[in-house]
Amino acid sequence: MTPTKLPLPRFLRFKGHSSLSMIMMWVGIAITLLFVLIAFLAPVFQSWGWVQNPKEFLNNPVHEAPSLSYLFGTSRQGYDVFSRTLFGSQVAWQVVILATALSLLIGVPLGLLSGYLGGRLDRILLFFMDTIYTLPGLLLSITLAFVVGRGIFNAAIALSISYIPQYYRVVRNHTVSVKTELFIEAAQAMGASTWEVLSKYLFLNVIQSVPVLFTLNAADAILTLGGLGFLGLGLPEETAEWGHDLRQALEALPTGIWWTTLFPGLALTLMVVGLSLLGEGLNEFVNPKFRQ
């Protein structure tokens, strides 16, 4: 006789949903896919003087207002704002996917092991994770950005540290509640190893909240990355990053140069809103408390 697995996690079996959740879901999906498309199309506009402003683009007009030649105008460095806004989406996705993936790959396994094995390992991990969790995320990212230096991968590391405890806590708490189920005890009685219990019987039943957490962390990571860029940290200055572009644009805003602030700021806001709506829409499917 082999131990019986739970059929499927509840969020995969759920059929009913409210119209509001569907609206949030589809609007979030549409905005998110739009920025994915923008990131892929960004290289098409590379010839417009995009990221590093090489010598052939140094003659671009400075603070040129939006026109047919420069759709979003130009900055005080001669950058084409349209191209940098598009490439900002590509850079944001690179950093955000790396940061959230690192957090997930570290936090989920640690949460599974901690919740299942318990004991001293659980107490030690809880202490360290709770310590990190109590620190303000932006302040922690700023400190780590000083330590690891600039670059896409380094920025992802600086962002991911504050998200690891969130994955750990969610997965660990679910593991503690699920490991007492009869099908887990049956698997243990049949001689299943720790790895088999974790991978075959626990994993799919404790990750209900991970998709929601992933999207919400992605939205938060974009804001944090923009904050680092605004402070002059995270990525090299020549990289097309919305926070850095906003920092440069604020100096010209009092003189009526509005376009260098509007378009990067609007792109950052829309991407965060899209991921947040997607996360909130998913949350109704995952969390029974929000179901009608």
For the chain, domains (ranges, CATH) are 17-38+80-290 (1.10.3720.10)
Tens-binned pLDDT, residue by residue, of the chain (292 aa): 445 444 444 444 445 556 777 788 889 999 999 999 998 888 776 654 444 444 445 566 788 888 887 888 888 877 888 888 888 999 999 999 999 999 999 999 999 898 888 888 889 999 999 888 888 888 888 888 888 888 888 889 989 998 999 999 988 888 888 887 777 778 777 777 778 778 777 887 777 778 888 888 899 999 999 988 888 887 887 788 898 889 888 887 888 888 889 999 999 999 999 998 888 877 777 665 544 4
Contact residues for 220 (Cβ-Cβ < 8 A; gap 6+): 137, 163
Output the pLDDT for position 58: 54
d(CA 75, CA 29): 31
Q: What distance in Å separates the CA atoms of residue 129 and residue 203, rounded to the nearest whole number?
A: 20
Instruction: Output the six-digit token pair for 101.
Output: 């993936």
pTM > 0.85: yes or no = no
Q: Note the pLDDT of residue 164.
A: 92
